[in-house]
Amino acid sequence: MPATSVTEPKYISPIVNPKSYIVYLPAAIVAAGIAFVSLWENPQSSFALQMNDKLIHALMYAVLTLTLLLPQIRKPRLGWSVYLIAGLTAFLYGCVMEVLQTACTATRTAEWADVLADGIGVIVALIIVENIRNRKSHE
């Protein structure tokens, strides 16, 4: 009986290769943190927190977008589709969190102003990444 050799599987795409997912671990951690903060029952929020709520929303989703783009930032060419996918992913995640706040908590509600703040954070992050890439390409 001939000896069979065991070879490692050849992965055709990074989607199939499980090692490629590790680069998105920071984004997964940020997304889990956002989910925890968004779905946490907090009936006694302070006035200062309420005043800064929209700024906090914008910052959270800017950080999420930045961490989604982090693995791609060093590539020589970054197409618009990468920006679109990262931006839509972060924005839709914000929309889902707003719906879940209403469905899963007794004291929190969805607000259009929060969704708008999430979108502003996403756009700011996309602008930051593009500016960083432009500066690096001109150096």
For residue 10, the Cα-to-chain-centroid distance in whole angstroms is: 30
Q: Considering the entire predicted model, what is its pTM?
A: 0.79
Lowest-confidence segment of 11-15, 24-28, 75-79 by average pLDDT: 11-15
Give the residue from 112, 123, 121, 133 showing the smallest Cα distance to 34. Answer: 121
pLDDT (tens digit per residue) in 81-115: 889 999 999 999 999 999 998 888 877 888 899 99
